[in-house]
Chains A and B, each alone.
Chain A
Amino acid sequence: MKPDLRRSFAVAWLGLAVVLTTLAPRLTSHSVGQPVGAPLAPASSSLPLGGDELGRDLWTRLLYGGRASLGASILAAGLTVALGSLVGLLAALAGRWIHGLIVLVVNAALAIPGLLLALLLVAGLGPGFPTIVLAVGLGGVAGFARLARQAFLQGQTASYIAAASALGAGRTRVALAHLIPNARPLLVPLAATYYAWSLLGTTTLTFLGLGGDPTNPEWGSMLNAGRLYLQEAPHLVLLPGLAIALTILSVHSLASARARSFPDRPV
C-alpha cells in the first residue's frame, strides 16, 4: 500500500473510532449489561451485530468497550510520557552522579519485562481498571525515559545552547526555552508509538483476565470471553480484535511517518 494511502486510511479509521466511541450513548439505546436476546443471537433490527455469549447487544458493547480501551490507553500513555519525559529531562540536565544513577535505575527497570511489572502491580493492588492504567503507564516509563534522554541530549550539543549559557541563562531556562521545544519533534511521534504500546498493554492485561467488572466491556476482555466460542461465533473475537489491530496499526503508521529512525524499539 502506498504510504499516503496507508496514512489516509489510518487517519480515517482513528477518526471513525474516536467519533463512534464518543457518541456511543447516542448510537445505541441498549445498556452494556442487560441481556436483550438469546445467547449468540444472529444480527437483527434490534441487534445490529447480533448478541454476545450472554445475549447482550454486541454493537453496544463494542462501542462502550472502545471508550474503555481507548480511554485507558490514553491515560496510561499520558502517564508514561509525562513521567518519562521528566526523568529523561532530569537525566539530560543533571550532573554526572545523578545522571549515572538515573541511567542505572532505568536500565534496571528495563531488565524487568514490562508485562511482569504490570502483573506485579495488579497482584499488589488487585485487578481492576485503575490498576491496569497505572501498571501499563508505569511500565512504559523506563523505556520512554531512555529515549527522551537521548532526544534531550541531542538537543544539548546545539550551538545555540552554548550561546545561551554563555549569555548567562540558567539551566532551567535553557531547558524550558530550548531543550523541550527542540526535542518535541522527536518526542511527539514517540509518544504516539507509546500510545499504541499502551493500547497493546491494556488489552493484553484485560485479555489475561485482570480487568475489573467483566460487565463493563473492554476490547481485550471481550477477546478473552469470545475465545471460548471461536469456532461457533468467530465474530465475537474478530470484531474487537480487528478494532484493536486497526487502531494500533493506524497509530504506528502515523507515528513512523514522522519519526526519525531510532535503533531501539520502544519495548
Chain B
Amino acid sequence: MVSPPDRPRTRLLTVVLRRALSALGTLWAAVTLAFFALRIAGGDPTHSLLAQGLASPEQVAALRSHLGLDDSLTTQYVHYLGDLIQGDLGESLYTGRNVTAVIGEQLPPSLQLALSAFVVSLILGLSLGLASGWYPRRVVGRVADALSALATGLPVAIVGLIAILAAAYLSRMFLPALALTRAGGLVLPSLTLGFGASGALARAIQAGLLETSAAPYLVAARARGIARGARLMWHALRPVLPLAVSLSALQAAFLLSGTVVTETVFSRPGLGRLLVSAILDGDYPVVQGLVVLGAAVYTLTHSVAEVIASHLDPRLRDAEA
C-alpha cells in the first residue's frame, strides 16, 4: 500500500497541534496545582508581613482587599488565571514591584548558566556516549563509561565543590591569572552543571550504539564496504538520535533544579537565589511566578523534544494517542 505523497506533511502538523494542546493542558494543570498547593500549604500570604511588623493591621487589611484575598479561593483562582493570560504575574508582597520585572532581572544570569550547561552537556554527552558505545573494550571507552556513570550519580553540589578545589589548586600552581574560581564566573558552573546533565545522554547513546552496532543492517553495510570508519558510526548513530534528542530536551527539568544548586555552590546571582529567598520570606506572587515559568519551560521543551523526535522517527508518531 502506497500512502499519498502529501500525507507526511499534514501528519506533522497534526502532531504539532496535538502536542501543543496537550502541553497547554499540562501547563494549566501545573499552574492550578501550584496555586492551590501554595494557598493551602502556605496559609495566609500576608501573615508574614504582619509577623515581621512590616505592616500594621489596617495596612494588611487594605492589602488583603486590594489583592482580593477575602474572596473565595475559587474566585481568586479565576482572577489569577485571567491576569496570567494577560501576562500579569502580580506584584511582590514585599517590595511591591512587578513580579515579571523581578523575575526578568534575575533571568539573564540563570539563562546564561542553563544554556552554557546545556551546550556542555551536549558536547560531553555525545563524546562520552560515542566513546563508550563505539569502543566499549578500549581504554577510552572504559574511561568514558566510568565518567558517564559518575555524571549520572554524582550530586551537582559535590561535583561543584570538587571543581572549586581543583581549580583553586590549579590556579595556584599554574595560572593565577586564569581565575577559574571567580564568583559569578561562568566556566566552572557551566562545566559542573553540564557534566551532571550529560550523564543521561551519554548513557542513552552508549546503550543505543551497543545495540545498533550488532544490528544486521550495519554488519551488512560494513561487509559490503558501503561504509567504514566514521560513516559506519554515523549509520549506527542515526536510529539512536531521536531518543537522544528527546532526552536532551528532557534534561530541562534537571537543568532547572540543577541551576538552583549550582548557583548556591558557586555564589552566582540568578533565579535560584530569588526562589529560595522568596520562599523563605513567604512572597507568594514571586514563588507562583517562578513556578509558572518553570512549568512553562518544562512543557515547552518536552513538547519540542517530542515533536522533533517523532519527526525523526516515524515509529514514534503514534506513540501517545
Q: Which residues of A contact B (CB under 8 A)?
A: 1, 6, 104-105, 107-116, 119-125, 196, 200, 203-204, 207-208, 220, 223, 227, 230-231, 234, 237-238, 241, 244-245, 248-249, 252-253, 261, 263-265, 267
Contacts and interface: CB of A to CB of B under 8 A. Distances in A.
B49 to A, nearest CB: 15
B247 interface: yes
Contact of A230 (B30, B150, B164, B291): B164
B162 to A, nearest CB: 7
Nearest to A208: B264
A223 B32 contact: no
Interface residues of B, number: 56
- 8 smallest CB-CB distances across A and B, nearest first, come from A108-B29, A115-B257, A111-B30, A124-B41, A249-B153, A111-B295, A108-B30, A123-B279
Nearest to A253: B149
B30 A223 contact: no
Majority SS of interface residues in chain B? helix
Interface of B: 25-27, 29-30, 32-34, 37-38, 41-43, 142, 146, 149-150, 152-158, 161-162, 164-165, 168, 200, 204, 207, 243, 246-247, 250, 253-254, 256-257, 260-261, 264-265, 275-276, 279-280, 282, 287, 290-291, 294-295, 298-299
Given A112-B291, A237-B161, A249-B149, 4 more contacts: A1-B146, A196-B153, A265-B152, A265-B254
Nearest to B255: A113
Majority SS of interface residues in chain A? helix
30 contacts: A1-B142, A104-B26, A104-B29, A105-B33, A107-B26, A108-B32, A108-B33, A111-B26, A112-B30, A113-B257, A113-B294, A113-B298, A116-B275, A116-B291, A116-B294, A120-B287, A123-B282, A125-B41, A196-B153, A200-B155, A203-B157, A231-B168, A241-B161, A244-B155, A244-B158, A245-B158, A248-B153, A248-B155, A263-B246, A267-B253
A108 B32 CA distance: 9
B42 A123 contact: yes
A36 B261 CA distance: 33
Contacts of B254: 265, 267
B261 A113 contact: no
